[in-house]
Amino acid sequence: AQKITQTQPGMFVQEKEAVTLDCTYDTSDPSYGLFWYKQPSSGEMIFLIYQGSYDQQNATEGRYSLNFQKARKSANLVISASQLGDSAMYFCAMRPRTGANSKLTFGKGITLSVRP
């Protein structure tokens, strides 16, 4: 079984500052993928970044980077130079990389508000 934990209450950050959104996970699968999605109030789930469990380097995509600490089972999302448009709900998710029917398991999400 897989579990994703996102325990931070609503997060606030000043525009142009960096923010870290926490995510810890638990799994017995030897190979897995970790994902972050952004969901603005409009509802669309936007894929942000992916980290494979055997990837040697932390993933980066523009202003997004994933601080992957495998031994601690954490996959925190770092957003640099926050923008007002970053205000949204953020979901951490994972799935095993083996098995034809592997499912994506989501955390409960974190609400981020960017202040001007």
Partner 1 sequence: DTEVTQTPKHLVMGMTNKKSLKCEQHMGHRAMYWYKQKAKKPPELMFVYSYEKLSINESVPSRFSPECPNSSLLNLHLHALQPEDSALYLCASSPGGQNNEQYFGPGTRLTVT
* Stretch of 13-21, 63-71, 79-87, 100-108 lying at the interface with partner 1 (CB under 8 A): 100-108
- In degrees and rounded to multiples of 5, residue 84 shows phi and psi of -55, -35
Residue 98 makes contact with partner 1 by CB under 8 A: yes
What 3-state class would DSSP assign to 28?
Answer: coil
What span, in angstroms and rounded, lies between the C-alpha atoms of 97 and 94?
9
**Which residue, 46 or 81, is less far from partner 1 as judged by CB?**
46
CA torsion sign for 100, 35, 108, 73 is positive
The reply on whether position 112 binds partner 1 by CB under 8 A is: no
Q: What is the largest CA-CA distance in the chain?
A: 45
Nearest distance from C-beta of residue 106 to partner 1, angstroms: 4
Among 20-28, 65-73, 78-86, 107-115, the segment contacting partner 1 (CB under 8 A): 107-115
Q: Is 74 in the site for partner 1 (CB under 8 A)?
A: no
User: Which residues from 9-48 bind partner 1, rule CB under 8 A?
Assistant: 33, 35, 37, 42-47
Note whether 107 and 93 are within 8 A (CB): yes
Terminal C-alpha separation, the chain: 41
State the residues that interact with partner 1 by CB under 8 A.
Answer: 33, 35, 37, 42-47, 50, 89, 91, 95, 97-98, 100-104, 106-109
